[in-house]
Amino acid sequence: MLQVSVLKEQTDRVLAGLTKRNFPNAEAEVQRVLELDQRRRQLQTEHDSAQAEANKLAQQIGALMKSGDKAGAEELKSRTAALKQQTKTAAEELTGVEKELQDALYRIPNVPHASVPAGRSADDNEVVREVGNKPELPGEALPHWDLIKKLDIIDFELGNKITGAGFPVYKGQGARLQRALINFFLDEAMAAGYTEMQPPILINEASGYGTGQLPDKEGQMYHATADDLYLIPTAEVPITNLYRDEIIATERLPVRNAGYTPCFRREAGSWGAHVRGLNRLHQFDKVEIVEIDLPERSYQTLERMLGHIEGLLQKLELPYRVLRLCGGDMGFTSALTYDLEVWSAAQQRWLEVSSCSNFETYQANRLKLRYRDENNKTQLLHTLNGSALALPRIVAALLENNQQADGTIRLPEVLHRYCGFAQLG
């Protein structure tokens, strides 16, 4: 979440950024935070003043009792009792105001970086670059949902039988391809200097609030209500929360982690052709890269992370493009997001396979994730993450783009040693 000091000292910049996001009632929401903060400070002063006066009177009472002035002591005790009640009342109201302030801050999204273009939807995103040639397919080319049936490598009906729609079963070469991609992505991350983590896939409420999934995306997460735990939508959440409430020594920075997990998303309200087959699932596999770095170099870090993801797509021989998301299409917590999309030849459209984002201090403020500056004062760090990569649409593109006239699917050379075969079918 945004710091109150930023809202107070950089109000015009914040409002301009929220306007770029098309955030409704921005001025009223920011003003509400500032009013609550002022009331909080006032109550804190009243509480502390009453507490200090009560402590001072307690010392005076002790002196009067020693001198034998019981009448004077009793008079002061009466004043002390009134001060204690005043302190209690202020403390109770302070607790309520602090809760209101926290909730108000949770409702305000991150301020976009200056380079983020204005816009309302995906149609307004900026194409940064397009890499690779779109393949020419044979006339009888099929979309991936028909290919997986023909090859018998992924079974949606079985998944629906044991769980429900959006939970496919991977079989034979399909299962081996999944494992191959996961291992390839992890090996590439390790070679790039990331430390592999294997985090839990269930998180508590504090972790959800720490990275901003709660309260913003509560309806999109699966909730195990008996234990009040949530199934993760991405490995970003548990990996970033490893560092909650920590002060990280600057010599340890940047912190660079990668992790494979299954991911779970309810995707409520999704329907239509764009969610067919592997295009959108409730459970899918993904390798995530997460970095924590100093504010002054976090945008160089973001570009390095983007380069790593592009390198994976190039090795997979997939044509792709990089988008800089506009204000209206960005995630709630992000300051700048690049989306990477691969070309789906049979569907004749681009499929998002990665988002790479800098959250600046937005998550770190919630997480209390800090470092000490040259004056030994604690400052907030910047957090970043990227999908490197999400598997379903990568598989869809590999199947569609590489189908051959004889009905087989050619796999890129980099996957041969991971799969143990060079083609599907």
- Residues at the binding site are 234-236, 265-267, 288, 352-355, 385, 387
Query: Catalytic: which of 21, 40, 256, 280?
Result: 280
Q: Which parts of 224-317 fold into alpha helices (H)?
A: 236-241, 298-315
Active-site residue, 252 included: no
Active site residue 13: no
Q: Which residues pair with 221 in a beta bridge?
A: none
Distance of CA 58 to the CA centre of its chain: 51
Q: Does residue 234 contact residue 221 with C-beta atoms inside 8 Å?
A: no
Q: What is the dihedral of CA 341, 345, 349, 352, to 10 degrees?
A: -20
List the one residue out of 262, 145, 143 whose CA is nearest residue 199.
262
CB 83 within 8 A of CB 57: yes
Catalytic residue at 265?
A: yes
Long-range contacts, 42-47 (Cβ 8 Å, 24+): 43/90, 43/93, 43/94, 43/97, 44/94, 46/86, 46/90, 47/87, 47/90, 47/91, 47/94
Positions at the binding site for ATP: 265-267, 352-355
User: Residues annotated as binding site for L-serine?
Assistant: 234-236, 265, 288, 385, 387
CA angle 320, 332, 293 (to 5 degrees): 75
Torsions phi, psi for 354 (to 5 deg):
-160, 145
241, two tokens: 């929360």
| Secondary structure class of 99 (helix, strand, coil) | helix
Host H or E run for residue 28: helix 26-67
**DSSP label at 422?**
S
The two beta strands, 382-390 and 283-293, are: antiparallel
Do the Cβ atoms of 110 and 80 come closer than 8 Å? no
Q: Which of 40, 355, 360, 366 is catalytic?
A: 355
Q: Give me the DSSP letters along 222-245.
A: -EETTTTEEE-SSTHHHHHHTTTT
129 is a catalytic site residue: no
User: Which one from 98, 100, 246, 352 is the annotated catalytic residue?
Assistant: 352
Q: Among residues 21, 40, 256, 393, which one is catalytic?
A: 393
105: its two tokens: 């801050």
The set of residues, in sequence order, having a beta carbon less than 8 Å from that of 253 and lying 6+ positions away, is: 292, 293, 294, 371, 381
Q: Does the active-site annotation cover 280? A: yes
- Which of these is catalytic: 265, 324, 366, 370? 265
Residues identified as active-site = 265, 280, 352, 355, 393
